[in-house]
Structure 1
Amino acid sequence: MHSRYQLYIDGQWQDGADGDTFAAINPFNQQEWARIPQATPADVRRAVAAARNAYETVWRKTNGSQRAALLHNVAGLLEDNADRMARLESTDNGKTIRETKAQMFYVARIFRFFAGYADKIWGSVIPLDKPDVFDFVAREPYGVIAMITAWNSPIALLGNKLPAALAAGNCVVIKPSEHASATTLEFCRLLEAAGFPPGVINVVTGAVDVGRSLVGGGGIDKISFTGSGRGGREIAAEAGRQLIPVALELGGKSPNIIFDDADLDKAEVGALAGIFAAAGQTCIAGSRLLVQRTIYAQIVQRLAARAERIVLGDPLDPATEMGTAANQPQFDRILQSIEHARQEGARLVTGGEPAREGPLAKGLFIKPTIFAEVDNAMRLAQEEVFGPVLAVIPFDTEAQALQLANGTTFGLAAGVWTQDISRAMRMWRELRSGVVWVNTYRMVSAQAPFGGVKESGFGRERGELGLLEFTVSKNVMIDFSNETRDPFAIKA
């Protein structure tokens, strides 16, 4: 398999202005499998101009029912092409086919969810204390949205943003990560086949400088970004300079909390899913496992035994349970974090090194890694690793669990495992997190809003709140009285 992709601008497939490309590398075998176009600032300007023209001339005049039909078309096409798209994504970023295929069907559901909203973006009538004034609030699209996504789940992350933005009536310019661009470009073929007018959706690819050109070049009405905290800070600063709104979905160091009254079989599965699914390369990873001391040794032992049986292998093999690090820089960062944890004095229980046996030899595989006796002040407990590395931290009381759980700069997700409903209610109320799961972990839904607090970002994706992120309110007052007002006093 070797593909050569092009940019998608104004409904046309075209090379970058300079004709430059870069390699897409399969992290399983380290082979180049595709060439991705390197956009220039001129390409970015053309994409933004195309989106603006489409918005002003076509898309803002397209009614909700018409937008809904197109979104439903996309959902059907994605379902029909789920296997092919999943194979491309697993080839590009090393995530297992069992995960990427499930994500394709999930994104199709998100498109259907927002298709249902497209013709139901209603305003509201405000009853004023003025009998001769009719007041209402309308919700309108922003216009042109810049979307920047990360490499760990390109289509799933795009699914969190794109359907809502299109349903609300916006046009978009998308910049995927340079480490995983292929499926976003491939997805444009489905969008094109679904019947979207030229310019409504545009994709520019390349390194960080392309993203900077997109968010800093003007012509954008809002930015939606998923990625690192460092990238989020840079984008928020640029948005501030331009006085345009921004939504940030950033990292996490999420606490997954097991009390001694929990169903331990379910909790074990939840802990494994929280950190080793997707090789830990997910913003919602339950990378800090907080375990009540009375069951601490038992949980560590159970998790180590199961972690050592996790099947590593070809991401395209349905039997594989954990794939590779997505790219060489991330592979190196994970190993550096493991070495730092050793130096800090955390006890390595299992893993802690690359997996090089047999068919794994060429891949960016890291063994599922567990550290015990982790102090919450350690770097391992405070910094996002974004890999299959679990820090297990003991606690004694509910109050201590909350103190540890909230004791980071992040606040994206949290898990609570208990059969005490009163405890569950107390915990979710006190956890400083955008998402709280009780007796489950890493569960998502098109209907449920998603996003973080603190340094995990702001703004929400999915659900009704995700739709509202891509609309702006307009208040309208209509005075139908016959009175003549005083021109020099505000009418209040």
Structure 2
Amino acid sequence: MSIPTQQHIINGEFVPPSSGQYIDLIDPVSGQVAGKAAAGNAADVDAAVAAAAEAFKTWKNTPTSERAGIIARMALVLGANLEELLTLEAACTGLGVTRLKGFDIPAVMQFIQIFAEGLESYPFVEYPPVRLAPEAHDVRVVKQPLGVCGLITAWNGPLFLAFLKMLPAIAAGNTVVIKPAETASLAVVRAMELMQDLLPPGVVNVVTGYGQDVGAALSSHPGVAKISFTGSGRTGTMIQKAAAETMKRVTLELGGKGPGIVLPDAPIELTARGATFGFLLGSGQICISGTRLFVHESIHDELVARMVELVGNLKAGSQFAPETTLGPMAYREHYERVLGYVESGKAEGATLACGGGPLQVDEYSDAMFVQPTIFTDVTPDMKIYNEEIFGPVLSVIKYSDVEDAIALANDSCYGLSAGVWTGDPIGAQAVAQRLEAGTVWVNDWHAITGDMSFGGHKQSGYGREINIASLEGYLETKNYMTSFETDPNAKAFFGLVHQVV
């Protein structure tokens, strides 16, 4: 079977990298090359931004109904090519096709529906009431697209994130340059290739490559009006600094260290299944994972024992096998970093309830699986408590006073996700309201819907994504004021400078 070699997509055309170089995309289960992506650089970014800027001249004036129709047809295109896209996404990310079919793709389809249905009723123009003081004016508030937007996505859900960012950007009338993660671009490039049949050339461009080359060039480019980035806090800080030079708008969705508080009345089975799901979906390689679990002392031992049982039933294997429930780490450097955190937990005195090292799978000797790992007796001075691990590692902290649990949960530089496990979901609202996070679940985790926006507090980033309100981040507000008074002597403020004649 031949592997795909993908080029950039610029102005509706396939464009080879000006460097002539390509990046090997490695299947993290088999260890084999799954495809090749163009290794872009600043020259490629310049070409893509120029194409997007030219396309913006006409796309920004496209009727809203036409943009909504184009977005609606995207669902049909994705559906017709679903198996190919699933295969490409799974091959270079290790994400299970079961997850992709059950989570990522349905979410993308919902995003498309939200923007296709909500775009025409969105208030791009508002007419406040006429005020008689200081004099009668007609005021019109117009929201206009920004221009060229750079969209930089992470490797833990490339297709999901690309549509999450692209849809509101083009719905608002902007044009885009997408930079997928260098390790995981196969499905994104193919999907955006398919979109070219729906869109005018230059509206959606894709430049693949390393962050220090393509991402940095986009973030500092004077022709880019906005950057939307999902990824690490360290890279987010660099992007924010680079964008400041040209006053770009920035949306950042960064790391997390999601705390879950298990109240004394929490049902054991619901909590055990939910909390393991919270830290093991995507093998923990999700920013909103629940990785700190504060458990009341009265049910601590029973809950941990049941979670260890559940974890023992997981099956590691091929991302294409429906029975696989545990995937690998996405690439070698990350795999080694996660194992380093596990070793630090042992060295700093945490108690290992299960897991604690690499997971060997006979059929895939080169695969980068990590044993699902649960630590107890974790304290706030440990690395595994404070730092985002981005792997299948959970820190359990025993508490006796819920006030202490809330204080510890909030004592973090992150504020992306949090949750409460309880037998009284109504009463638990009082706890949920005090947790400092952009999304707080009660008796659930990882649930998202297009009816709510998504984003973080503190060092988890800023700006909102997912729902129709995310259009705000891709629009500029302009005020038009028309005066009905034509007699200069009657103008309310002219007398502050001119004498009345």
TM superposition score normalised by structure 2? 0.95
Q: What do the CA deviations read for 1:307-345 (whole angstroms, capped 9, x no partner)?
A: 111111101101100111011111011011111111111
Partner of 2:496: 489
Give the SS at the match of 2:60. Answer: helix
The whole-number CA distance in structure 2 between the counterparts of 1:428 and 1:140 is: 37
Partner of 2:100: 100
Whether the 8 Å contact between 1:252 and 1:284 is mirrored in structure 2 is yes
The whole-number CA distance in structure 1 between the counterparts of 2:81 and 2:381 is: 46
Q: What do the CA deviations read for 1:15-52 (whole angstroms, capped 9, x no partner)?
A: 11122111011000111121110112111000001000
What is the one-letter code of the residue matched to 1:257?
I
- The aligned runs of 1:37-48 (5 Å cut-off) are 37-48=38-49
2:188 is the alignment partner of 1:187: no
List runs of 5+ in structure 2 lacking aligned partners: none
The whole-number CA distance in structure 2 between the counterparts of 1:489 and 1:138 is: 30
Partner of 1:224: 228
The whole-number CA distance in structure 1 between the counterparts of 2:35 and 2:281 is: 26
- The aligned runs of 1:172-321 (5 Å cut-off) are 172-193=176-197, 195-208=198-211, 209-321=213-325
Cα distance change of structure 1 residues 470 and 372 upon mapping to structure 2, 3 Å threshold: same
The whole-number CA distance in structure 1 between the counterparts of 2:142 and 2:84 is: 41
Q: CA deviation at 1:377?
A: 2.8
Moved more, 421-430 or 70-79: 421-430
Aligned length in residues? 489
Partner of 1:162: 166
Q: CA deviation at 1:387?
A: 0.4
Whether the 8 Å contact between 1:82 and 1:105 is mirrored in structure 2 is no
Cα distance change of structure 1 residues 423 and 20 upon mapping to structure 2, 3 Å threshold: same
List runs of 5+ in structure 1 lacking aligned partners: none
Partner of 1:479: 483
Q: What do the CA deviations read for 1:274-327 (whole angstroms, capped 9, x no partner)?
A: 111100000000011111111011111111111111111101101100111011
Q: CA deviation at 1:487?
A: 4.0
What is the one-letter code of the residue matched to 2:40?
A
Q: CA deviation at 1:467?
A: 1.7
Whether the 8 Å contact between 1:63 and 1:119 is mirrored in structure 2 is no
The whole-number CA distance in structure 2 between the counterparts of 1:439 and 1:286 is: 12
Partner of 2:16: 15
Q: What do the CA deviations read for 1:369-405 (whole angstroms, capped 9, x no partner)?
A: 1111111231111100000001111111221111111
Q: What do the CA deviations read for 1:193-224 (whole angstroms, capped 9, x no partner)?
A: 3x100000000011122110111121011110
Q: CA deviation at 1:464?
A: 2.8
Whether the 8 Å contact between 1:83 and 1:101 is mirrored in structure 2 is no
Give the SS at the match of 1:366. Answer: coil
Partner of 2:65: 65
Whether the 8 Å contact between 2:317 and 2:361 is mirrored in structure 1 is no
What is the one-letter code of the residue matched to 1:19?
G
**RMSD value, Cα:** 1.5
- The aligned runs of 1:22-41 (5 Å cut-off) are 22-41=23-42
The whole-number CA distance in structure 2 between the counterparts of 1:424 and 1:459 is: 27
Whether the 8 Å contact between 1:95 and 1:322 is mirrored in structure 2 is no
Give the SS at the match of 1:73. Answer: helix
Q: CA deviation at 1:419?
A: 2.5
Q: How high is the sequence identity, in percent, across the aligned residues?
A: 36
TM superposition score normalised by structure 1? 0.97
- The equivalent position to 1:402 in structure 2, one of 406, 413, 417, is 406
Partner of 1:347: 351
- The equivalent position to 1:414 in structure 2, one of 415, 418, 422, is 418
Give the SS at the match of 1:126. Answer: coil
Cα distance change of structure 1 residues 132 and 313 upon mapping to structure 2, 3 Å threshold: same
The whole-number CA distance in structure 2 between the counterparts of 1:373 and 1:277 is: 23
Cα distance change of structure 1 residues 297 and 97 upon mapping to structure 2, 3 Å threshold: same
Partner of 1:76: 76
Whether the 8 Å contact between 1:64 and 1:120 is mirrored in structure 2 is no
The whole-number CA distance in structure 2 between the counterparts of 1:60 and 1:477 is: 22
What is the one-letter code of the residue matched to 1:475?
N
The whole-number CA distance in structure 2 between the counterparts of 1:249 and 1:276 is: 20
Partner of 1:147: 151
Whether the 8 Å contact between 2:229 and 2:253 is mirrored in structure 1 is yes
